[in-house]
């Protein structure tokens, strides 16, 4: 039998503690475990509170169990060559796909993204891009969503697929 070297544990300053217990609910802000939020509250409270979606200018237009529709401006989300950054498409896709999973599985479960793939078909240089997330599979432990992002002329800019794991409790990072 071959001896395998032990992996060294990183110093404490590089470790982060993650627990799966539900934190106490803050009555005023609506923050906490998220176990009793409706689809409207997910849209209004959680997206507004999340800094990345706000920073990217993402607006959620429609939320239902069948689809989530949102849009994002190209301005402010460009790469140095003047076209919409591929990472911005990924942020829009994961935002909409995660929301669709949340609408379908919360309050019993909490979705976390485990895989995202994006295929970029064409570039967008101005205006807004619109994403439509539709479920491919909604199960007890996972969900898979297709997100189609189009430009203002209705041309497909990106096709993404997001898979989410449904956890029993919201992870808490301390």
* CATH code of the domain containing 107: 3.10.129.10
pLDDT at 51: 76
Q: Is residue 6 part of a domain?
A: no
Q: Is residue 130 part of a domain?
A: yes
Contact status, residue 76 vs residue 84, Cβ threshold 8 Å? no
Total structural domains within the chain: 1
Mean local confidence (pLDDT), 43-66 = 80
Half-sphere exposure of 71 (CA within 13 A, CB side): 14
Q: Is 115 noted as a catalytic residue in this protein?
A: no
133-165 per-position pLDDT tens digit: 999 999 999 999 999 999 999 999 999 999 999
The pTM assigned to this predicted structure is: 0.72
Q: Is residue 34 part of a domain?
A: yes
Q: Is residue 75 part of a domain?
A: yes
pLDDT at 6: 57
Domain of 145?
26-173
In whole angstroms, give the CA distance from residue 166 to residue 102. 9
User: Are β-strands 142-150 and 172-173 bridged in parallel, bridged antiparallel, or unpaired?
Assistant: unpaired
Q: Is residue 128 part of a domain?
A: yes
Contact status, residue 102 vs residue 42, Cβ threshold 8 Å? yes
Catalytic residue among 21, 28, 94, 115, which? 94
């Amino acid at each position: 039998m071959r001896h395998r070297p032990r992996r060294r544990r990183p110093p404490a300053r590089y470790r982060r503690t993650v627990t799966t217990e539900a934190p106490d609910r803050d009555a005023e802000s609506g923050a906490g475990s998220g176990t009793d939020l409706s689809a409207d509250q997910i849209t209004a409270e959680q997206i507004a509170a999340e800094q990345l979606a706000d920073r990217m200018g993402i607006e959620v237009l429609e939320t239902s169990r069948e689809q989530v529709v949102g849009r994002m401006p190209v301005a402010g989300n460009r790469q140095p060559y003047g076209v919409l950054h591929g990472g911005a498409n990924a942020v829009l896709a994961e935002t909409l796909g995660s929301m669709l999973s949340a609408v379908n599985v919360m309050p019993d479960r909490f979705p976390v993204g485990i895989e995202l793939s994006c295929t970029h078909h064409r570039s967008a240089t101005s205006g807004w891009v619109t994403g439509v997330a539709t479920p491919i599979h909604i199960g007890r432990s996972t969900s898979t969503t297709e997100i189609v992002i189009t430009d203002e002329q209705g041309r497909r800019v990106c096709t993404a697929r997001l898979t989410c794991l449904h956890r029993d409790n919201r992870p808490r990072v301390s």
